[in-house]
């Protein structure tokens, strides 16, 4: 165990692998070559369509101890990972690691297979029950949480070796060309699957919608796909794009959004060429609505919106407020419909989106990003992975990537959530270092990082409720009381990797 | 020197590198990993726009002995390679190898720089004067000719290491996203540049049309582009897409095309799902015209057209005769206009098009390809590289790739060209092995490879002028006389690599 630069005690070895402690967001340099894989040659008459999922597993050569991946564009509607794990079990294969781009609540079905030893590790973040059980020590399955950019990096550097990627392919031909734009399980962008298609040792396209050759436009090409298999259904379309996409009506949320809009206005970033990202969720969309109105009013011609894309951003594109959208994942059906039809709505890989180790990611070009938090500390460090119960319940997403890349990262959150203070002395887990966070906005006030003295001054001039972050914490504590420190066992059950691969925090088993 | 399986005497070592003699089109298996390059990290605030071409060369770190590349989508209108070589010379850099996707007549301007030792090798085929001078022994510059698929393979395997790729970028932003669809030097598909963008150690985008960020749709992404430089002009738009695109009016050509159409009809391939490639040139287009009429008449719904794409194929796409076009290179302005606007007109990389060493190239899916020849021998071996003068005058293009991939490869050529017989005992140079050629069509008759007995029978049934290839040769010789054997020096000045990297023939200095 060593203390990293944020004072977090992190292991140097975890589940048999060696890790570097986090130092800062910028200085870690890669000293490696891009990951490689065997060059293959196929018979020019070879068929790739091998049957059902089980046939695909067999054809791929999956064996005990290997690592598999899936992408999470189908999110909580995904049926593939559960089917896959069941088939792997049926084939008697054991000790498999999952290195998917994310695991969702629906994948709780794999819990029995973790207990049974079919799945023995998660090289990816988890949302929901699996993380909770791991945190409680009720499920023995080491987990390494990565940001979207960090995951792409880990595949590209070869730190995570995926033996077989099983990629949900909503519109796919028998020779392996596919996209996510059409079909009963259309999910839009396949941005998270692209690194797997390039770096996994074997690639199996799994489809419920086999179309005549060629499936165009080609998202992932035949030249990287080894096998094609068919399943009855990849997922539940109603849940594939199921994120809340309505602007909040809650007065606290609306107040927070209004303050966030004041921050953007005061930042001076709102001018031609403005680029912007915001997630889903009611407050974020309320901020987007303010941004839209500011852009209209100021006749601002923005450059791009990026990240997971909602219909709200599609409207802004169509209205001419942005020239382009960079889409790593579609958050709703409107986004899915747009990406298949509008050339300015651009699919991008997770690497292009957010990897710190390439010739320049899209997040580097972001002016402003709106991010959420489960907790923030007085050094502006942000937690999105665990909740104040100590349970690992959320994946990092693009949080730390966007915070590092954007000129201004704004955290929006209610001051109090479930009777617990959002700002506290110490976050349970550090996901994103405070050094990369500009402003914390709550309905009770705005805390500006000292790195932005001019923005702070401008906000004060505009009579915004700027408060020192400690003052804001105290005001909130006055209502909620100081949070009781959680008690943890020494046992580390998971790591939170920073985007560059260093360990920013460890997740420990929660004391009963 | 060893004799390969076609009886061609080829060196095992050439210009310091080791090569394998050709054996057959199918059996050579890769035993290597995909080429790699250093993982880089850039400062998230870094600028990539570094100035002019010379600044770009300096920024790239180009040094004596290194290898550069350009793509040839601008073809005989390309101004970049000439400018580049002049700037390299001005910087005092020497001993540079060129590994471009092709070198054209316009690049004769680099001849003085070859003499001067600035350029000391060509890892690519050449069209025109440079090849002629090399063949005559008047220019000392070892050349290795590769097919389009073979070139992609050589970059991907790392057999050819490109130190710096200078990629003409007709529509480019300051962070390196670019496409070829728009701008004064629009060339359409950038299919040949894609392997370079992934495998060169440094990538410099060179543009005469810097557009606001982001340049969408993104063909080659910012995440692989190290620097962006501007030049006054990338090329002469009139010559960028300058191939002959009119159907022949020559009666010999029309007769040949008619016979080729008979072969396609007799082959049984003309049914729903039909896929087709033909090059430019009057006879090829005349065949395409027959194909179009057959498809209309038979209400055939084809799957795809591929290769270098002409307006003729664009019309067929728009007419619904093909569902998609796979485009590695646009041959005319109509194709350029279409690829930027029609999602079913798909840009593809040279690797996806034609590499023998991936999970399956598009050529593998071709039903029928129409190819040209400068010479054919009685074993159906085809020469497109040298002419009957012995001079290296033409690049391979996709010739041997398509021949190997397609179900049926048809060579169309006039029986006599410049008083010389097209069919002869022995071709001057083997580009494409006869084993991968189905039929030779001339205005004087059709020769069917013994590998297609049913097709031969069907053609005879249809009263097509089927002749044994030796008979056809004799008939032509009766008019032209047997060609006088060329005299060569022992000195090998170039190699013709087969698509799998084995050496199918050597090019020797022609005796004065």
A365–B42: do the CB atoms touch at under 8 Å?
A: no
How does strand B49-51 pair with strand B227-230?
parallel
User: Mean per-residue pLDDT for B350-369?
Assistant: 98
Provide, as residue numbers in chain B, all residues whose Cβ is less than 8 Å from the Cβ of A28: 41
A304–B214: do the CB atoms touch at under 8 Å?
A: yes
Q: B45 to chain A: nearest residue by CA?
A: A364
- Edge-first strand order for the sheet with B423-424 is B382-383, B375-377, B423-424
Provide, as residue numbers in chain A, all residues whose Cβ is less than 8 Å from the Cβ of B29: 41
B346–A218: do the CB atoms touch at under 8 Å?
A: yes
DSSP reduced 3-state for B316: helix
Q: What is the 3-state secondary structure (H, E, C) of B228-288?
A: EEECCCCECHHHHCCCCCCCCCCHHHHHHHHHHHHHHHHHCCCCCCCEEEECCCHHHHHHH
Residue B33 tokens read as 């990993």
DSSP reduced 3-state for B162: coil
Look up residue B351 and give its DSSP letter. Answer: H
Q: Which backbone phi and psi does A115 adopt, to 5 degrees?
A: -60, -35
Residue A242: its pLDDT value, please?
62
The 10 Å Cβ neighbour count of residue B212 is 13
Exposed/middle/buried for residue A238 (C-beta within 10 Å: 0-12, 13-18, 19+): exposed
In this predicted structure, the answer to whether residue B117 has a pLDDT above a threshold of 70 is yes
- Helices B251-267 + B453-461 axis angle, to 10: 120
Residue A111 tokens read as 């819990």
Q: Scanning the structure block, which residue is given the tokens 């020797």?
A: B508
C-alpha distance from residue B303 to each of A179, A212, A292 (Å): 17, 8, 43
Shortest CA gap B158–chain A (Å): 11
- For the stretch B196-221, pLDDT in tens is 999 999 999 999 999 999 999 999 99
Cα separation, A20 vs A28, in Å, equals 10
In this structure, of A83-92, B314-323, B386-395, the range with the lowest mean pLDDT score is: B386-395
Cα separation, A276 vs A223, in Å, equals 34
Q: Is the dihedral of CA B111, B116, B119, B124 positive or negative?
A: positive
Residue A243: its pLDDT value, please?
60
The 10 Å Cβ neighbour count of residue B428 is 25
ipTM, 2 decimals?
0.96
- Edge-first strand order for the sheet with B503-510 is B49-51, B227-230, B202-207, B164-168, B67-69, B96-98, B119-122, B143-145, B488-497, B503-510
Pick the CATH number of B32-239 from 3.40.1080.10, 1.10.10.10, 3.30.70.920, 3.60.20.10: 3.40.1080.10
In this predicted structure, the answer to whether residue B247 has a pLDDT above a threshold of 90 is no
* Inter-residue contact A428 to A422 (CB < 8 Å): no
Residue A399 tokens read as 């949080």
* Residue of A176, A348, A404 lying closest to B359 (CB–CB): A176
Residue A475: beta bridge partners?
none
Residue B213: its pLDDT value, please?
98
Residue A239: its pLDDT value, please?
84
Q: B401 to chain A: nearest residue by CA?
A: A44
Asked if A32-239 and A251-486 have one fold, the answer is yes
Q: A41 to chain B: nearest residue by CA?
A: B357
* Inter-residue contact A236 to A331 (CB < 8 Å): no
Look up residue B508 and give its DSSP letter. Answer: E
Q: Scanning the structure block, which residue is given the tokens 């009381």?
A: A481
Q: Scanning the structure block, which residue is given the tokens 């049913």?
A: B454
The 10 Å Cβ neighbour count of residue A431 is 29
Cα separation, A261 vs A457, in Å, equals 16
Residue A119: its pLDDT value, please?
98
Residue B245: its pLDDT value, please?
65
A226–B352: do the CB atoms touch at under 8 Å?
A: no
Cα separation, A495 vs A493, in Å, equals 7
* Inter-residue contact A483 to A421 (CB < 8 Å): yes
* Inter-residue contact B300 to B274 (CB < 8 Å): yes
Shortest CA gap B394–chain A (Å): 26
| Closest CA relative to residue A189, chosen from A108, A107, A72 | A72
Cα separation, B22 vs B25, in Å, equals 8
A45–B355: do the CB atoms touch at under 8 Å?
A: no
Where are chain A's structural domains?
A: 32-239, 251-486
* Inter-residue contact B327 to B346 (CB < 8 Å): yes
Q: A272 to chain B: nearest residue by CA?
A: B212
DSSP assignment of A106-152 equals GGGGGHHHHHTTSEEEESS-B-SHHHHHHHTTSS---EEE--HHHHH
* Inter-residue contact A62 to A222 (CB < 8 Å): no
Cα separation, B272 vs B482, in Å, equals 44
C-alpha distance from residue A16 to each of A9, A19, A121, A508 (Å): 18, 10, 11, 17
In this predicted structure, the answer to whether residue B244 has a pLDDT above a threshold of 80 is no
Low-confidence ranges of chain A (pLDDT < 70): 242-245
Residue B388: its pLDDT value, please?
83
B361–A32: do the CB atoms touch at under 8 Å?
A: no
Please, which residues have CB within 8 angstroms of residue A403's CB and are 6 or more apart in sequence?
Answer: A369, A371, A382, A409, A432, A433, A436, A437
B343–A217: do the CB atoms touch at under 8 Å?
A: yes
Residue A249: its pLDDT value, please?
87
A351–B223: do the CB atoms touch at under 8 Å?
A: yes
Thinking of the domain A251-486, which architecture would CATH place it in?
3-Layer(aba) Sandwich (3.40)
Residue A33: beta bridge partners?
B38
Interior CA angle at A87 toward A85 and A88, to 5°?
Answer: 65
Shortest CA gap B346–chain A (Å): 6
User: Mean per-residue pLDDT for B338-366?
Assistant: 97
The 10 Å Cβ neighbour count of residue A482 is 13
Residue A337: its pLDDT value, please?
94
Shortest CA gap A403–chain B (Å): 11
pTM of the full predicted structure? 0.97
Q: A499 to chain B: nearest residue by CA?
A: B41
Pick among A28, A30, A39 to test the B interface (most B CBs inside 10 A): A39
In this predicted structure, the answer to whether residue B382 has a pLDDT above a threshold of 70 is yes
Cα separation, B24 vs B7, in Å, equals 12
* Inter-residue contact A152 to A355 (CB < 8 Å): yes
DSSP reduced 3-state for A510: strand
Provide, as residue numbers in chain A, all residues whose Cβ is less than 8 Å from the Cβ of B304: 213-214
A358–B176: do the CB atoms touch at under 8 Å?
A: no
Look up residue A173 and give its DSSP letter. Answer: -
* Inter-residue contact B114 to B138 (CB < 8 Å): no
User: Mean per-residue pLDDT for B492-501?
Assistant: 98
* Residue of B32, B44, B226 lying closest to A404 (CB–CB): B44
Residue B497: beta bridge partners?
B503
- Helices A282-297 + A251-267 axis angle, to 10: 40
- For the stretch B270-301, pLDDT in tens is 999 999 999 778 899 999 999 999 999 999 99
Residue B240: its pLDDT value, please?
76
């Amino acid at each position: 165990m060593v203390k990293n630069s944020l004072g977090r005690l992190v292991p140097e070895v975890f589940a048999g692998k060696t890790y570097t402690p986090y130092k800062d967001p910028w200085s870690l340099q890669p000293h490696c070559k891009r990951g490689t894989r065997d060059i293959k040659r196929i018979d020019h008459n070879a068929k790739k369509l091998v049957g059902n999922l089980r046939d695909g597993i067999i054809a791929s050569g999956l064996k005990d101890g290997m690592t598999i991946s899936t992408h999470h564009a189908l999110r909580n509607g995904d049926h593939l990972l559960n089917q896959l794990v069941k088939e792997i079990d049926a084939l008697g294969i054991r000790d498999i690691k999952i290195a998917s781009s994310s695991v969702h609540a629906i994948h709780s079905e794999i819990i029995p297979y973790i207990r049974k030893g079919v799945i023995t590790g998660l090289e990816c973040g988890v949302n929901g029950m699996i993380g909770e059980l791991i945190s409680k020590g009720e499920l023995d399955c080491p987990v390494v949480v990565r940001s979207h950019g960090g995951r792409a990096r880990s595949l590209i550097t070869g730190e995570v070796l995926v033996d077989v990627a099983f990629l949900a392919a909503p519109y796919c031909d028998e020779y392996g060309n596919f996209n996510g734009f059409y079909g009963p399980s259309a999910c839009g962008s396949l941005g998270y699957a692209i690194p797997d298609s390039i770096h996994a040792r074997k690639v199996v396209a799994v489809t419920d919608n086999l179309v005549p050759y060629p499936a165009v436009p080609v998202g992932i090409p035949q030249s990287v796909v080894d096998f094609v298999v068919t399943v009855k259904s990849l997922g539940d379309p109603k849940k594939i794009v199921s994120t809340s996409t309505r602007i909040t009506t809650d007065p606290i949320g609306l107040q927070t959004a209004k303050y966030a809009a004041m921050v953007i206005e005061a930042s001076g970033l709102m001018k031609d060429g403005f680029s912007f990202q915001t997630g889903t969720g009611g407050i974020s969309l309320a901020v987007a609505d303010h941004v839209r109105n500011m852009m209209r009013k100021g006749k601002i011609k923005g450059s791009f919106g990026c990240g997971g894309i909602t219909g709200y951003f599609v409207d802004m594109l169509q209205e001419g407020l942005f020239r382009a959208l960079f889409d790593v994942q579609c958050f709703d059906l409107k986004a899915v419909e747009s990406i298949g039809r509008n050339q300015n709505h651009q699919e991008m890989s997770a690497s292009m989106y957010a990897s710190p180790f390439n010739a320049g990611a899209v997040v580097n070009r972001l002016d402003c990003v709106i991010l959420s938090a489960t907790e923030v500390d007085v050094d502006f460090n942000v937690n999105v992975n665990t909740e104040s119960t100590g349970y690992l319940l959320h994946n990092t997403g693009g949080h730390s990537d966007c915070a590092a890349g954007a000129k201004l990262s704004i955290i929006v959150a209610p001051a109090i959530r479930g009777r617990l203070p959002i700002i506290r002395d110490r976050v349970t887990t550090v996901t994103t270092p405070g050094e990369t966070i500009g402003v914390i906005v709550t309905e009770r006030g705005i805390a500006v990082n000292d790195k932005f003295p001019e923005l702070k001054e401008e906000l004060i001039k505009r009579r915004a409720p700027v408060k020192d972050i400690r003052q804001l914490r105290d005001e909130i504590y006055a209502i909620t009381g100081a949070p009781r420190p959680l008690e943890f066992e020494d046992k580390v059950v998971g790591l939170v990797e920073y985007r560059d691969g260093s360990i920013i925090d460890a997740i420990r088993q929660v004391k009963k």
